[in-house]
Amino acid sequence: MNVYRYSALFIFSMLLSCSDNSTDNPPLNSPNLIIKLKFDPDQERLGNLGQPVSVPIGNAAQTPTINRMSANYIEFAPSATTALGTGEVIFEGDETTDGGTQAINFQNAVFAGNNDTFLIVPLSEVSIGNYEWVRVSLAYQEGGIDLRVNGLDISGTLGSFVGYNSYITSFNLNGNIIDVNANKEQGFWVFEALGFTTQGQAPEGATTVSNPLFATSPIPQGSCVVTGEFENGFTITGNETQDITVTLSFSINDSFEWTEVNADGKYEPEVGEQVVDMGLRGLIPLVSNSP
């Protein structure tokens, strides 16, 4: 037997085998769906029903600066009558019962800052179809707010848990380790300023969750599923050759709200002014193609 001839035939057959099997794997440059987050201080301020609203008499509000945010669920809905959970779910965050009842597992949360990428999904994994709406269940937001203490105007950092229920072991807020080791319902917050921290709980049902589809596709009470409409719809054909980016633009217009004791538009916790709302004030999904 000619050993060299046999080896050549063997190598040739292996190359053919590898070539045949390559069709089982997706191409290296297959296009992706890219989800980005944006926090817009000038976007319209909406209420729970998706309609423009102003700050109620007796309250005051300010526009925070959002440093990072986490979502726990993203779904594309084909129509206004698509029930929550029956659309195209492209992301579900980790959940746990370690704190007792089912809750978002904050320790495994995914975060993104302003104009940062939150999620990348191969377009081949997204069902072909036409989508009119997007739903996003928010979990956490962190950013800066202003307040008045002892007559002085200072700035601090607010971490607000807006998800339906969050299991938190501990987390870092500006270098301060906050130990919780428990489930916390929607509206739990921790504030840090000048190295000092305090925490509290907004009233049940007070967190704004904008849903323009309230009449046709309601969401559970206490959830934070914000709903937004694609201006010209969003279509997945299955023939895409380029990445598609969907930027989730959230309104932070006067999204931090409190009850006023001193009617001066300043947040003054020391005089008894209470946080009543940390919810985002609307969602607009923006679609663009990448070369």
Q: Of 6-15, 119-128, 271-280, where does the model show the most confidence?
A: 119-128
Residue 223's SS3 state is coil
Q: Is the pLDDT of residue 7 over 70?
A: no
Q: Does residue 207 or residue 179 have the better pLDDT?
A: 179
| Alpha carbons 34 and 36: distance in angstroms, whole number | 6
Q: What is the mean pLDDT of the chain?
A: 88
**What's the confidence (pLDDT) of residue 28?**
56
Residue environment code for 75-104, b if the CB has 16+ CB neighbours within 10 A, otherwise e: bbbbeeebebeebbebbebebbeebeeebb
- Average pLDDT for residues 96-113, to the nearest whole number? 96
**What's the confidence (pLDDT) of residue 6?**
38
**What's the confidence (pLDDT) of residue 61?**
96
Q: What is the pLDDT of residues 124-164, one digit of tens each?
A: 999 999 999 999 999 999 999 999 988 899 999 999 999 99
Percent of the chain whose predicted confidence (pLDDT) is above 70: 89
**What's the confidence (pLDDT) of residue 276?**
85
**What's the confidence (pLDDT) of residue 290?**
63
pTM of the model: 0.86
The total of other beta-carbon atoms located within 10 Å of residue 184's CB is 21
Residue type, 154: I
Query: pLDDT grade, residue 274 (50/70/90)?
Result: confident
| Alpha carbons 138 and 287: distance in angstroms, whole number | 20
**What's the confidence (pLDDT) of residue 291?**
52
Percent of the chain whose predicted confidence (pLDDT) is above 90: 73
Residues 6+ apart with CB under 8 A from 117: 34, 35, 36
Burial of 237 (0-12, 13-18, 19+ CB in 10 A): exposed
Q: What is the pLDDT of residues 190-228, one digit of tens each?
A: 999 988 898 888 888 778 889 999 899 988 877 889 999
Please state whether 100 falls in left (phi above 0), alpha (psi between -120 and 50) or beta.
Answer: left
Q: Is the pLDDT of residue 101 over 90?
A: yes
Q: Is the pLDDT of residue 3 over 90?
A: no
Q: What are phi and psi of 14, to 5 degrees?
A: -65, -40
Q: Is the pLDDT of residue 10 over 50?
A: no
Beta strands 188-193 and 176-185, pairing class: unpaired
Q: Is the pLDDT of residue 12 over 50?
A: no
Q: What is the pLDDT of residues 40-87, one digit of tens each?
A: 999 999 999 999 999 999 999 999 999 999 999 999 999 999 999 999
Q: Is the pLDDT of residue 24 over 70?
A: no
